[in-house]
Amino acid sequence: MTQAIDRPDVASTASGADPFPVRGVDHVLFVVGNARQAAHYYSTAFGMTCLAYRGPEQGHRDYAEYVLVSGSARFVLRGSVRAGTPGAEHHARHGDGVLDIALEVPDVDAAHAYAVKQGATSLAEPYDVTDEHGTVRYACIATYGETRHTLVDRSRYYGPFLPGFVARDPIVDRSAAIAAGTQPKRFFQAVDHIVGNVELGRMDEWVEFYRRVMGFTNMAEFVGDDIATDYSALMSKVVADGTRKVKFPLNEPAAGKRRSQIDEYLEFYGGPGAQHIAVATNDILASVDAMRAAGVEFLGTPDSYYDDPELRARIGPVRVPIEELKKRAILVDRDEDGYLLQIFTRPVQDRPTVFFELIERHGSLGFGKGNFKALFEAIEREQERRGNL
């Protein structure tokens, strides 16, 4: 009931229940230039397992789609098999990127009706799709840029992924490496949060969108331009569902001396979109070692970050010696609830747009605010190398 105090204009049911309950992120749909090769990359470099596929062989005439999983995280990689499809046009505009952050909900009709009543744009009215494994109900609403949220109720479905997809063998057999202990069984277990970059001056509008349309609430973390570097200012707020399972930080560029990393993203992606996907790992050291060995490039961190006595005092004891973090350029941040370890990849496609974060949480519910400055400086070194600063 306290939610009503925070959200006076959000309609609640008679019982005070969440007006837009979500079970979690169902899957993240990436549009890519070559899904077959992307599936190989996410298998080898991210340790994911290819679970399902659909394409022309299944009568799916426009696209080849590969489903990769790691723990509860599911990625769908969509490549166009011919020109002129909406996916091919999306790819021409944005390059590889996130088209859809699909949310699992217990009641698609109620969620869609609520969202539309609260001002969301409907991209698809509720509908069923059935195959021999059962039925899934879907609807879809628009969010920032050309990004969308498909709403999924899979409670009556028992197939490998979603109707129309067929099970397929993993692309890469990692069993020998896992048995030998040279690779963890999974490099990560879940999606932790997905960050959206939105237009200059529109962050609060999108925070309000998630509050009004999905009943999400603000999390404490707020990043103003006060902690920005000279060049790379941004503003950031975080919204989350009532259970804190779905967390969406939203960034907008702020005025700095020169072009910020958010401006660079908006220019090269061609508008607002998902900036990074943070995946949760329970052993970030093993994950980083395995991913580096497979060729994933991470942002560097200067030695001065680890040698700073202020940092050592601020973070206190963590589960591994700081030297182990320094060796791998893993960042650490602490708040009143605990601490977190995190590291960011370089962009995973040619455009300087989408990247990944690995995060290992020990109590902390934050997003690494204490690291933003060190992180910005690392990103600026990369922007400089690309001639975009």
For Fe ion, the closer CB: 305 or 344: 344
Contact range with Fe ion by CB under 5 A, out of 85-93, 95-103, 239-247, 360-368: 360-368
For Fe ion, the closer CB: 63 or 344: 344
State the binding string over 177-216 for Fe ion (x if CB under 5 A, else -).
Answer: ----------------------------------------
Distance CA 285, CA 307 (A): 19
Cα within 13 Å of Cα(99), Cβ side: 22
Q: Among 241, 252, 263, 357, which residue interacts with Fe ion (rule: CB under 5 A)? A: 357
Distance CA 200, CA 196 (A): 12
In the complex, minimum distance from the CB of residue 315 to Fe ion, in angstroms, rounded to a whole number: 18
Binding footprint of Fe ion, residue count (CB under 5 A): 3
For Fe ion, the closer CB: 131 or 297: 297
For Fe ion, the closer CB: 278 or 389: 278
In the complex, minimum distance from the CB of residue 300 to Fe ion, in angstroms, rounded to a whole number: 18
Contact range with Fe ion by CB under 5 A, out of 16-24, 278-286, 309-317, 319-327: 278-286
Distance CA 70, CA 87 (A): 25
Name the residue with the smallest CB distance to Fe ion.
278
Side chain identity, residue 103: L
DSSP-assigned letters across all residues of 63-126 = EEEEEEEETTEEEEEEEESSTTSHHHHHHHHH-SEEEEEEEE-S-HHHHHHHHHHTTPPEEEEE
In the complex, minimum distance from the CB of residue 378 to Fe ion, in angstroms, rounded to a whole number: 14
Return the closest-CA partner of residue 232 out of 249, 214, 267, 257: 257
99, 217 contact by CB (below 8 A) = no
Position 278 contacts Fe ion (CB under 5 A): yes
68, 48 contact by CB (below 8 A) = yes
Contact range with Fe ion by CB under 5 A, out of 95-103, 221-229, 353-361, 379-387: 353-361
304, 322 contact by CB (below 8 A) = no
Contact range with Fe ion by CB under 5 A, out of 25-33, 101-109, 313-321, 367-375: 367-375
In the complex, minimum distance from the CB of residue 357 to Fe ion, in angstroms, rounded to a whole number: 5
Return the closest-CA partner of residue 246 out of 5, 11, 20: 20
Contacts with Fe ion, residue ranges (CB under 5 A): 278, 357, 367
